[in-house]
């Protein structure tokens, strides 16, 4: 199975693109770098994991992606509080991430049962 066929990978890519575009003009390079890297890490770890041979390795990368989801949610909440992120936009991203996380868990469970 290729990562490109997974809805969770597609949705993770979409949120990363949205965040990169949103922060394109941000002058706080430390915050910008951290939030864009964590957003990029979700889909990237799914992709990297699906190139591994064993399900155990795939699961490990899904767990890393789940950690990146939590990291990104935290950064979005902080971004809202420091007024780098419009509250409505940030809450929409969080809603999408809260949909991605159970998808990752479901994928992990499926791999464990194979």
pLDDT tens readout for residues 76-102: 999 999 999 999 999 999 999 999 999
Q: Which domain does 47 fall in, by range?
A: 3-113
With a cut of 80, say whether residue 1 has pLDDT above it. no
User: Looking at residue 48, which CATH number applies to its domain?
Assistant: 1.20.1440.60
Mean pLDDT over 4-9 rounds to: 94
Q: Number of structural domains, the chain?
A: 1
Return the structure tokens found at 80. 């809202």
Alpha helices by DSSP H, the chain? 7-22, 29-49, 55-81, 87-113
Q: Tell me the C-alpha distance between 17 and 9, whole Å.
A: 12
Tokens linked to 28: 């706080």
- What does the pLDDT look like over 29-66, one tens digit per residue? 999 999 999 999 999 999 999 999 999 999 999 999 99
The whole-angstrom separation of Cα 54 and Cα 52 is: 6
């Amino acid at each position: 199975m290729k990562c490109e066929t997974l809805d969770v990978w597609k949705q993770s890519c979409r949120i990363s693109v949205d965040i990169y575009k949103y922060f394109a003009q941000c002058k706080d390079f430390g915050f910008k770098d951290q939030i864009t890297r964590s957003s990029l890490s979700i889909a990237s770890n799914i992709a990297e994991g699906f190139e591994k041979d064993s399900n155990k390795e795939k699961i490990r990368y899904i767990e890393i992606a789940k950690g990146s989801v939590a990291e990104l949610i935290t950064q979005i909440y902080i971004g809202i509080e420091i007024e780098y992120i419009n509250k409505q936009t940030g809450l929409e991203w969080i809603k999408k991430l809260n949909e991605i996380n159970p998808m990752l868990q479901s994928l992990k469970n499926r791999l464990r049962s194979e």
